Amino acid sequence: MTYAAAERAALSDLLDRVGPDAPTLCEGWTTADLAAHLVLREHRPDAAGGIVIKALAGYTASVQNKIKNGRSWPALVDAVRKGAPRWSPYRLPGLDELVNSLELFVHHEDVRRAQAVWEPRELPAGQQETIWKRVSSGARLMVRRSPVPVVLRHPDGRTAGAAPGPGPRVTVTGPPAELLLFAFGRQAHARVTCEGDETSIARVRSAPLGL
């Protein structure tokens, strides 16, 4: 089983358990909103542009709400669990893992870490290394909106970053999965340590990081 498939299955099981009205780390979204977002990405590529293009956000939100309100909760979770339809490019060999392994991991944690009690999962070493490769290659993009330079540091000393800009750098250290969550804008819920002056650290922790 690929990491994307494992995260999809685990997230779907968690959605089944917590129901449609549970909180998530995505501001303003319940689990029903998050599930509808995932179904939209894979089933309605014509409406997915608003995820990254602000001018199209209204249309994307409208379609997402129709998906959320047009199905029962079990049917919505089942659509998440089954993934992309047969005609989708996501079905091409390797593409699901490339496109969805990080997306599904982050959204799985969006649900897990919004609960009252949670702890980081013990991930396989191979998954952590896969995440690090993706984080290190995309670090500059993910932290580009930081007001100060940011360096992401693996526990073994490997580094990635830093965002351009004035001011002293902030070094963020943690397991790759935690660095991913930090760089994806989940700073408050990522188990990392930050080194730098207090003002710069505070600015990075409140910055709109992510893709």
Task: For residues 24-40, give the mean pLDDT.
Answer: 95
Q: Which fold has domain 125-205?
A: Nonspecific Lipid-transfer Protein; Chain A (3.30.1050)
Model confidence at 76, pLDDT cuts 50, 70, 90, reads very high
- The beta strand positions in the chain, using DSSP E, are 150-153, 159-161, 170-173, 193-195
pTM score of the predicted model: 0.91
Give CA angle at 59 (79, 49), nearest 5°.
75
Amino acid at 210: G
Task: For residues 45-71, give the mean pLDDT.
Answer: 83
Strand order in the sheet with 150-153: 159-161, 150-153, 170-173, 193-195
Give CA angle at 190 (119, 204), nearest 5°.
165
Gap between the Cα atoms of 162 and 98, Å rounded: 24
Q: How far is CA 34 from CA 74, 76, 86, in A?
A: 14, 10, 22
Per-residue pLDDT, 10: 97
Gap between the Cα atoms of 27 and 2, Å rounded: 29
